[in-house]
C-alpha cells in the first residue's frame, strides 16, 4: 500500500474536482488559510478539521495498527 502525504492527496483531489481553496473553505465553513494549512500538512491543524476536509472530498481515512 502506497502512502502519500495527506495534504498532497487532499490538494490533488480538490484540484481534480476543479475547486479552489476558497470554494472548499466556503463549503466547509473554514477560512481559506486553514485549507492551505491542511494541504501543506501543518501540524497545528486539528484532526477534526482534516477529517472533515477529507470526507467532503470523498476520501476515507483508515487507521492501521503497526
Quick: pLDDT tens for 15-52. Answer: 999 999 999 999 999 999 999 999 998 888 899 999 99
Give whole-number Cα distances, 3 to 7, 22, 23, 29, 33, in Å: 12, 27, 27, 28, 25
Q: Enter the pTM of the model.
A: 0.85
64 within some domain: no
Confidence bin at 59 (pLDDT 50/70/90)? very high
12 within some domain: yes
63 within some domain: no
**Domain total of the chain:** 1
35 within some domain: yes
Domain of residue 12 covers: 6-56
62 within some domain: no
Which of helix, strand or coil describes residue 38?
helix
Amino acid at each position: 500500500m502506497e502512502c502519500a502525504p495527506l495534504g498532497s492527496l487532499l490538494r490533488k483531489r480538490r484540484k481534480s474536482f476543479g475547486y479552489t481553496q476558497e470554494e472548499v473553505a466556503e463549503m466547509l465553513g473554514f477560512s481559506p488559510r486553514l485549507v492551505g494549512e491542511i494541504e501543506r500538512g501543518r501540524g497545528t491543524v486539528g484532526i477534526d478539521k482534516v477529517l472533515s476536509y477529507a470526507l467532503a472530498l470523498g476520501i476515507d481515512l483508515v487507521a492501521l495498527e503497526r
